[in-house]
Every structure is written in C-alpha cells, then in structure tokens.
Structure 1
Amino acid sequence: MIGGGYVGLVSAACFAEFGNDVSVVEIDPARLAALRDGRIPIYEPGLDTLVADNIRAGRLSFGHDIAAAVRGAEAIFIAVGTPPRNGDGQADLTYVHEAARQIARAMSDYAVIVTKSTVPVGTSRRIAEIMRQTCPDLAFDVASNPEFLREGNAIGDFMKPDRVIVGLDEDAPDGGARARAVLGSLYRPLSLIEAPVLFVKLETAELTKYASNSFLAMKISFINEMADLCERVGANVHDLARGMGLDGRIGRKFLHPGPGYGGSCFPKDTLALTRIAQEAGTPTRLIEATVGVNDARKVAMASRIVAACGGSVQGRTIAVLGLTFKPETDDMREAPSIPILVRLAERGADIRAFDPVGMAAARPHLPPAITYCDSALDAARGADVLVVLTEWNAFRALSPVHLATAMRGRTIVDLRNIFDPAAMRGAGFTYNSVGRP
C-alpha cells in the first residue's frame, strides 16, 4: 500500500484483517514513526484497535522502502494524495505518477498495480505507460479500485460494502483475467456476506467514483434549496425529505439540510468531474450548478447568523458547536465552518468554539482570535447566540435549561436541526433552524 494516509491506512488495516500480509509505504517521517508505534494520526472510530491487532498478528507493517515493500507482492495499491490543481480544479497526479515510477524501478516479479486514489479517467492507462517507459520489460497489469469510505464509518464501509468496483484492462493480452484472479482472491472474504464485486472497464471504474460522489453532493444541494423554499412557504423540510425518501427510486440518505457539504471528497470530486467532462466536450451542467449552489450556501449561512443577531455581530459573543465537516472525524477539509466563521470574525464577532475531536485540526484554518473551549456548555457561557455547525451526537442531548443558564442571550441558530423547536421555545429561546417553520 503506497501511502499511509486516510484511504491507504484504512484499506491496509482492513486487508490485513482479511488475513493478508500488508506492507504500507509512508515517506513522511513523523507519520511513519507514529504508525510504527501504533499511534493513529487521523481520527477514525475503531481504526487504532484494528491497526494494533494486525501489527501484533504480524500481518501489517510500516516502512519507507518501496523496494522492500513490493518484493513478492501480488497487488500494489497506489493510495497517495490527488489534491485539486491550483487554477483549474483538476486532480493533481504528481504523486500518483511518481509512485508509478518508483514501483517500476522496485519491481522484479509480476504484480497488479491498483489505483486506490481518486483519479481522472485515463490515469490507470497513463500509469501503465509510465511503468513501461521506466522499465520496458516489466510484467504487470493495471487495475482501478476506487474507495467508497465514509469518514466516521470507514471500517464498516470496507468490511460490509454496498459494492466493490474493480476496473480491468480489457485490452491486455488475457483480457485482464490474471488481474481479475488476483483481486478476486483479495476480496473473496466479502463473498461470505454476498457483497457485490463488479468487474468493469478501467475507465468505468475511474468514472464511477466521481459520478457517485457528485450525485450525492447534488442530493445535498437539492434538499438545501428545498429547505429554503420550505421556509418561504411554511412547509417542513424534514417531512418533505421523508415523503421523498420513502420513494425507493430516491431513497432517504443525503436528504438532510444544512450549511453545505464539505470534506475531502465531495468538493474535490465534483470540481474534478466538471473538468473531466469539459475536456471530453460533454459539460455536466447539473454538477456545475451543484458546485455553485454549495459555495453560495456557505455564504448564505453566515448571513443567516448575522440576521439572527439583528443585522450585526459586532461585539456579540457567538458560541459555536462543531467545527469539522461532519461528526465522527477530525477532518477540516472544506468544512462549512471555515468560510462561515471567517466571515463572522471579519464582522467583529467574538467566537467561542467547541468540537469533540476537531479543535487541533481546526486552528490552522480559522481566525486566530477564536477561543477554543473545553465543552459545549463552556462555549455557551456568556454567549449572545449559539450556532450549531456539526451534528455531533453529544450536542443533541444538551439540556435547553442548562443552555439558558449558561448563555447571556436567548438566540439559537441550529444549522443542523438537531434540537426540538418546541423544547427550545419552551426554554425561552428564539430558535432558528433550516427548512422548518
């Protein structure tokens, strides 16, 4: 597994749990030292135990030497970063291409080179070209195996997936049969739970990840627009979403209104898909609109908070609950909290924030004047307004009476709809939520 980041580490630990011998190559010295000591540099429930168990069992190891790691390997996964390029939003494949060169120089026996990173269409074939240019006599196949791991539930998603997508090179001399045998064997443990393993063309696999994430992002933006409409006409967005979601063709998931999507996948993948489509001459207008709606959403949420404060947050103390883009992770990438809190700070707000696990990760992204608190009630102490930005379960159980006792003001802006409006009104709050009367 080339890369010990989120995708590489979770995948490596889960493959090891299947009974495979897995070597992880990580070039960052601090991260490598932490992994060797069993310290997990990311927050993901259950991952620390899974890694520790498989290190003890001798199935999982960490190092920096690609040559040692690939020696005798049947499958070599590339799980390095593919950040958006500055300027055009397309995925930056610098690390992927360099990994391919290093693998080619280190290989001696046949192996399947598998892209686990999210990459544009054509990347797997480009990897094959790079490897042949580097070492023309190598015996290998390429494959694409995109990940569909939700942060906060990654281990469950790997062990009990909705599907596994494997892209094969149908133009290979054997039509991809040898690669299919290797990867089919690797995923055989999932046959016990009858998880679908779909073998498709390379290009189909590469595009499926982008298409899936973009469709889910589109659902989020759609329900956010419906929430705005519900507020104008007096409807309830939760009842609306339930009425829609009970239709099996639509489904209930991702119909939850909020301040916009964030994280490591949706913003990056929607932007990348629009670039892929434009380059192919088939623009994706729906996805382009989704990107625009989401960007505007975050700005609108900051304005909503200002409006709830009477039109100005100058000198107001605002308590913020939740900073990460979603619960059960410390990931701050593209978190809605960033543009929202930057705008509030620019307008003179005094911000007191609490997040159960994300405050250390949040500091580099947020204004330096923010006060980080020890608990939700600590953040609420003396606040004029309480704002909910991330729906951590611990926040749902907060007592309205205790909040009222801690706060100076009586205004709540709940951008995740975690509180009961009647209970908040009963405690004397002016309660603002999303898409509810």
Structure 2
Amino acid sequence: MTDATPATRARLPLHWKMAIGFGVGLIVGLIVHATGQGDAGWVQDVTKYVTTPFSKIFLNLIFMLIVPLLFSALVCGIAEMGDIRALGRIGWKTLAYTVLLSAVAVLLGLLLVNLLKPGVGVDPALAQQLIAENAERTKEIVASVGSQPTGMDMLLSIVPDNVIGAASSNAAILSLMFFAVMFGIGLVLTPSENTGILKRGIEGVFEISMTLIGLVIRLAPYAVACFMFNLAAIFGFDLLLRLGAYVGVVVLALGLHLLVSYSVALKLAGYSPLTFFRGAQEAMVMAFSTASSNATLPTALRVADEKLGLPRTVSRFVLTVGATANQNGTALFEGVTVIFLAQFFGVDLSLGQQFMVMLVCILGGIGTAGVPSGSLPVVALICAMVGVNPIGIGLILGVNHFLDMCRTTLNVTGDLTLASLVAKGERGDVKLPGQPG
C-alpha cells in the first residue's frame, strides 16, 4: 500500500531564483537588442505595461520600508552596546575601531572605483534614454541633485532641524541617520525601566521591518527579470562588459581590504596576520557559504575562543555587536556600487557628494542587518540620495549573491580582527597566538 501523502518538494533557494530571473531577462533583452526590435510595438507595450510598472512597484516597496528599517537598525545597533559604561574602554574601543575600519574600507572602495571606472564606457545617449523612459520614477530623485547642500552647508545639514522632514526626504537621509545614532546613544545613557520598554519596542519595529523586507525580496526574481530586460534591450552586450568590470572591482577591493588592511592593523597591534588567518579560516569558510554574519556568529565565537585564544568577555561582546554593527564589507560594497551606477548612468558626483556617500556607507554598515541581501535597501537609498537612477540595482541583483558571499567573508573576518584589536591591553599578561612574547 503506497503512502498517499505527497513528498515535500524542496524549494529552490531565493538566490537561484534571482539568478534565473537575471538570466531570462538578460537573454531576452539581448535578443531584442541584437535583432533591432527595441522600437517594435510589442516591446514598447511590454516595457510600458509590464516590466517598468513592476520595477517601480518593487522599488517603491523598498523605499517604503527604508525609514523604519534604518532607524530601528541603527538605534538597536547602538543600543546593543548598552554595556558600554559597564565595560568601560572595551565598548568605546569597539565603536572607535568599527568606525575606523569601515572608513578605511569605504575609502579603499571609492579610490578603486574612481581609478578603474568600471561603469564608464556606456553610450551616454542610451543612458539618458533609459532615464527618460523612467522619468516618473526618477524625476524627484534627479531634481534633488541640484538642491543638495555643499561645503559647510553640507556638514551643517547633517544635524537636522526637523527629523520628520529628514525622514520624508531621500536627500536628507543622512540627517535621519544622525538622529538615530543620537537616539541610540540616548538609550545607552538612560538605563531605566521605561527606556528598556522603548528599546524592546524599537527592536520589534526592526523585526517587523525585516519580515516585510523578506516578503518584498521574494519579488526580486521577477523584478530582476524586468530590470535586466529593460537594461539589456537598450545597452546590449555593453551591459555584460560593464557588469563584469564592476564585479572585478568589488572583489579586488574586498580582497585588498581583507589581506592588506586587516594585516596592517593586526601587525600594528603586535599580532601575526598569518597565524590570525590560519585560525580564522573556519569562520571565513562558514561566512562565505552562508552569506550571513548572524548565521556565522556561533562559529566565530568558537573560533575566537579555541583558535585565536581571545578572552570571552571581549569576544562575546565584540562579535555579537559586530555581527550587526561592524559590516566593513557591506560598507565597501555599497560605496563601490553607488559610484559604479553613477558612472554607468553618466551622473557626475562631486567630491562632496562622494564624501556624503562615504558617511552614509559607514553608518549603513552599522545599520545593515547581518542577513543575505540586507544591504540592498541601503544601496537603493544612497542612489536616490545622490540622484542616481535606482533602476540600476537590477544589475546588482543578478550578481548580488556571489558578492554577498564575498563581502560577508570580509565582515566576519573584520569582526574577528576587531575582537583581536580590542583584546589588546585587556588580557593582562595572557599572550595571543602569534603575539610576540
């Protein structure tokens, strides 16, 4: 007698669905471009009534959730350091090294993307054509470029005079992030029953935001097919060349930060980089496999204890906070991606605007969830802030999972590096592996 219960069919992982959507949209778009059908009536109807509207809905859903997600993530990330006063210099050293390592990562990424220019080479007329076809979605974004403050006004604008106004404007999102950081610090410095309840409430907002983002990301395979069809039908094979160059620059920047920046930091602290990387390799492999800092946390804690010999009082605090707040790879990825898309669409960003991108990326690294694709809303946000057409994230969605695996490896390695740096001077006379006696 056979079992009537149907076998549970294994679900295809989301990143594979996104890869399929990427491939389908790209191939169909390239066929349309190669056969000269771009101006055909059926193509115009598909882009007008199917692909472009769906793309807009997907982007609007992401932008809708950005304010609650970033505010709650930043507040929770800062509030996680709630033991800063109790831990004394451990907490402050963690925060200082986090900002420093993130700044170095973003600066390295911006230097490479400006030097190698992976997005340059696309016909400017085609880029303007795509922007024109998405004029309704990009009208307010592009219009905000000329109104953005510069120089001293840019620095003063970071401190908002109206938080609600900052939350309602993509261009002023850095002001909202500043307020979120201040709010988080206020929670840390005001321990009470009431603030404890408020903190749990904000954590609830974060959890709800992440749940909704997860639901929206399920639409990504269909959205990326629409994005890629629109892009490939216009840009043709130039799109593949630019995309390959972009992936190469991101991987190069991540590799340099991993092998050079972390090695220099460890060497200056008196540790052996070779011994460190040998001990951290298990956590690095786990990070690459899962593409999630949070999922790698148990392995990272064990590696810090058993392989690196770090004190538990330091490693538990630093690694737990770092899984959310110390996202060097994510910050680097976001900076490179925004500048690449600016180059691709012919948007000339000033040094002041790139400086703002750097600041948002550093704060975004603190406020980005340690889950797969957690940085995509931040990338869309920064694009909107500096006047770059957010439809370009369709390019990123197609290769995002591989880059997510790479940058998560850097994030987790950065957490262990951070824990090693913070442990310096906190261990008495106990010696780390590879540390000179």
Query: Under TM normalisation by the shorter chain, which class is it?
Result: under 0.3
- Give the strand-richer structure, 1 or 2: 1
- Give the helix-richer structure, 1 or 2: 2
Structure number with greater Rg is 1
